[in-house]
Structure 1
């Protein structure tokens, strides 16, 4: 991981050499006094102007140097192996660690305080420090190593009691490998969002092509973020990649926004045709999933390895699908109200409730109160109401005008031309054939056997009950006490009075 690449000429050109450990004498490797540019990865390196780490020292921290300060003058290279995390140095005002003292843990310009040019000795607790003679890092400089105790400045450093600026060497960026712990993932939320709806209606008896194109493109989004643990030791500026999947490599950089949003376009295939006499509905849906996954970070720095945990979180809306349903249209002239929520996928059979009956002849059992359009046949429940011209199959025991017997539910009402045996209080449209209950009134021309008190329209055929009054020309068998109009034929009961010209079959004595 820690390496330095040196070049013969500036801008990384000419001959080159790469080293990963200390080089006491570059001349032995035929590369002495020729370095003009270099690249450093990992920990800092120190280049010396003399062999065996003698002469003036120049520090090169991680980075690229297209030109060095002292080109063609370096004879030795040394890698800084020390731990550079949490640096600390203690400065003393007088030699031999006497007088006032000052503890420094970061780069400091002493010219802005009371210790400028007043340092006489120091102790290094942690890290490697660069000491400068002038503010801003100018003038003479020297290195202070961990554990070093320098009792007097003047004879050893040549600073002549003048120290104005100091800073610790920066460690190289750690190498971080990230692994998602998918077995511990957690789905926080999941939902489907409607992004498009396409409707096609085919009222013909032949299959028709869908008006929409066979494929459409839709935009998808993927929002993702990374959260470091609260106890992380990683510093700002660190970056690494997180391979979420083959097509998604998420780059994390600490200190910046550790989140990103990706947008892509996805093609969705649509049904190509609409079946005969059917309505096709296509719903294009985007599935959004909020997911969190623990991430194991393996950090390698200066030949030491440690681990930390982080968390990857994403809101994915990249899955788009088309769901379609095919619903048969009612027969011509009919209106159908299918049960709520019924919908058919193309090529499947619409499985409605057992015994259901459709306008095209299929059988189904509608629920009470369902209403059918003209021409449909169904077994209605109590209180159902039919549209004009509908035919329906009454339940057992009902009685039809043509002799069929059945019992309809109370309160049913038929439109004009329908055939049924209504319950008490029902009113029949003109021309209907029925056997009305007591108090019912029949339209002109209706055939019926009225109950007591019913009144028949002119020309109707019925057997009226007691007290019924028949219109002129009606044919009936009146009950006791009934009175027939002139010319009517009936079999009156005992005591019945006939009009002139009436033919009567008297009751048996």
Structure 2
């Protein structure tokens, strides 16, 4: 991880000063800042995002359980590579947001409910097939259906009163509360989920599901 401070100047113009300050503090070479090692950049603006004045940024290349020591609100974001889940609160709690490689100029672009952020988690790369089994009832009861591909409207294929449990057999998946990949998001990695609270939901309502296959 690398902490970066940004102003109206580019990082390249500040780079000599950054290296000098790091060496003055007696940091060994491995702790010298890097302009390219970050995979995930969070930026906070001191004023309106449209002004792009006095921003701060934090680079993250692995899971981070608590971003609050750096900042707790984020107005724009860039993912350099990989796929991530951004959580609203520390310790991977609260609203979840699925992020792919690209730029997100404001929190609405990652379907955020607000600009509060607490912890990012990297989605591990899993090659091969995808398979998930959905259950009508909790604890793997009732009617079931297997999915191996994205589904923009679960109700068309699984017309029951919500999804109460799930078994992710292969691959990483994202559940969406509404059809067409909208609404609250939930990240599911391989494993068994006896109830909807196991994937962080407060209700069994799931309208669409998507594979994480673009890492």
For the pair 1:25 / 2:51, whether they are aligned, the reply is: no
Candidates 189, 197, 213, aligned match of 1:145: 189
**Helix, strand or coil for the counterpart of 1:27?**
coil
Q: 1:74 Cα deviation (Å)? A: 0.7
- The count of aligned residue pairs is 168
CA contact (8 A) 2:181 2:209 kept: yes
Within a 5 Å distance, the mapping from 1:91-170 to structure 2 comes to: 91-108=134-151, 109-147=153-191, 149-153=192-196, 157-159=201-203, 161-170=204-213
Compute the displacement of 1:116 (Å).
4.8
Large movers: runs of 4+ above 6 Å: none
**Cα shift at 1:54:** 2.0
Query: Are 2:96 and 1:57 equivalent residues in the alignment?
Result: yes
Q: Kindly indicate whether the alpha-carbon contact (under 8 Å) linking 1:43 and 1:80 is maintained by their aligned counterparts in 2.
A: yes
- Pairwise CA distance, 1:43: 1.5
Instruction: State how far apart, in whole Å, the 2-side matches of 1:12 and 1:83 are.
Output: 40
Q: How does 1:163-242 map to 2 (within 5 A)?
A: 163-172=206-215
Distance 1:88 1:7, change over 3 A: same
Change (3 A) 1:25 1:138: same
Question: Taking structure 1 as the reference length, what is the TM-score of the superposition?
Answer: 0.30
Q: Which residue of 1 aligns with 2:44?
A: 8
The answer to whether the aligner puts 1:40 opposite 2:82 as a matched pair is no
Q: How far apart, CA to CA, are the structure 1 residues paired with 2:88 and 2:81?
A: 22
For the aligned residue pairs, the C-alpha RMSD in angstroms reads: 2.6
Alpha-carbon spacing, 1:11–1:92, altered in 2? closer, same or farther (3 Å): same
Do the aligned residues in 2 keep the contact of 1:12 with 1:37 (CA within 8 Å)? no
Once the two structures are TM-superposed, the CA of residue 120 in structure 1 deviates from its matched residue by 2.9
Flag the 1:163–1:65 CA change in 2: closer, same or farther, 3 A.
same
Partner of 1:80: 123
Which has more helix, going by share of residues? 2
Deviation at 1:55, TM superposition (A): 1.9
Is the CA contact 1:136–1:165 (under 8 Å) kept in the aligned structure 2? yes
Q: 1:138 to 1:117 in 2, by over 3 A?
A: farther
Evaluate the alpha carbon distance shift between residue 41 and residue 88 of structure 1 in structure 2; reply closer, same or farther with a 3 A threshold. farther
Query: SS where residue 63 of structure 2 aligns?
Result: coil
> Which consecutive residues of structure 1, in runs of 5 or more, have no partner in the other structure?
173-509
Alpha-carbon distance change, 85 to 62 in structure 1, aligned in 2, over 3 angstroms? farther
* 8 Å CA contact 1:2, 1:42 repeated in 2: no
Q: Give the structure 1 partner of residue 14 of structure 2.
A: none
Alignment partners' CA distance in 1, 2:196 and 2:68:
33
- Alpha-carbon distance in structure 1 between the residues aligned to 2:65 and 2:122: 11
- Offset of 1:123 from its aligned partner? 0.1
The structure carrying a bigger strand percent of its residues is 1
CA deviation map 1:429-470 (0-9, x unaligned): xxxxxxxxxxxxxxxxxxxxxxxxxxxxxxxxxxxxxxxxxx
Are the aligned partners of 1:2 and 1:43 in contact in 2 as well (CA < 8 Å)? no
The answer to whether the 8 A contact 2:85-2:187 is kept is: no
The answer to which structure, 1 or 2, has the higher relative contact order (CA under 8 A, 6+ apart) is 2
Task: Answer yes or no: is the 8 Å Cα contact 1:130–1:144 preserved in 2.
Answer: yes
Change (3 A) 1:144 1:120: same
- Cα deviation code 1:467-508 (max 9, x no counterpart): xxxxxxxxxxxxxxxxxxxxxxxxxxxxxxxxxxxxxxxxxx
Secondary structure in 1 matching 2:155: helix
8 Å contact kept, 2:137–2:163:
yes
